[in-house]
């Protein structure tokens, strides 16, 4: 599946049910349930399935692997934090997918930087570039995501986070 991100006339359906569904209290799914849902998403013509967060648990890793083996049309991704260990685990989980990819994210708000990551803006920017660069050494399809909690008043910082990892990685 070749993706031309500059084609503005195409809408791609990116489904996160198999990952986000796990974050709802009392709504966890078994591996088999995730496979059944993934097959249905494929029948519906979903373009991209985020199958899980492989580094979060062995169960989630196994579910991502199973989904990758069961569906053939959609691109199948694993979520990963901007850490080499997470990315390596995600890469391993999607290696059997016909159309593999990973989705790398990093927290960017000042609240997250101070309390969650304990990093400066410059350190987060460097970590994002390093993560995407590492991922690009191993896989062609990478989604990136900035975990936001603040207003868009920090446009320069956000624009650097959006522009630098893909161009330098």
Ordered by start, the domain boundaries in the chain are 14-168
Instruction: Give percent above pLDDT 90 in the chain.
Output: 47
Asked if residue 50 lies in contact with residue 78, where contact means CB atoms within 8 angstroms, the answer is yes
CATH T-level assignment (fold) for domain 14-168 = TIM Barrel (3.20.20)
Residue-wise pLDDT tens digits, 129-165: 889 999 999 999 998 887 655 555 465 566 666 676 6
* Banded model confidence at residue 4, pLDDT cuts 50, 70, 90: low
- Calpha distance 32→116 (Å, rounded): 33
132 against 21, higher pLDDT: 132
Q: Which of 72, 71, 52, 70 is nearest to 60 (CA)?
A: 52
Q: What is the pLDDT of residue 2?
A: 47
Q: What is the pLDDT of residue 40?
A: 97
Residue-wise pLDDT tens digits, 100-109: 999 998 776 6
């Amino acid at each position: 599946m070749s993706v031309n991100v500059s084609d503005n006339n195409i809408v791609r359906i990116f489904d996160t049910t198999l990952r986000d569904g796990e974050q709802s209290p009392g709504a966890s799914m078994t591996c088999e349930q995730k496979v059944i849902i993934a097959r249905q998403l494929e029948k519906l013509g979903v373009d991209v399935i985020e199958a899980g967060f492989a580094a979060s648990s062995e169960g989630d890793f196994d579910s991502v692997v199973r989904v990758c083996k069961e569906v053939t049309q959609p691109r199948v991704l694993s979520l990963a934090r901007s850490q080499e260990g997470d990315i390596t685990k995600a890469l391993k989980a999607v290696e059997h997918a016909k159309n593999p990819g990973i989705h790398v994210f990093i927290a960017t708000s000042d609240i997250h930087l101070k309390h969650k990551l304990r990093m400066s803006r410059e350190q987060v920017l460097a970590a994002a570039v390093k993560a995407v660069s590492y991922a690009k050494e191993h896989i062609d399809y990478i989604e990136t995501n900035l975990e936001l909690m603040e207003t868009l008043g920090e446009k320069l910082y956000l624009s650097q986070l959006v522009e630098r990892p893909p161009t330098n990685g």
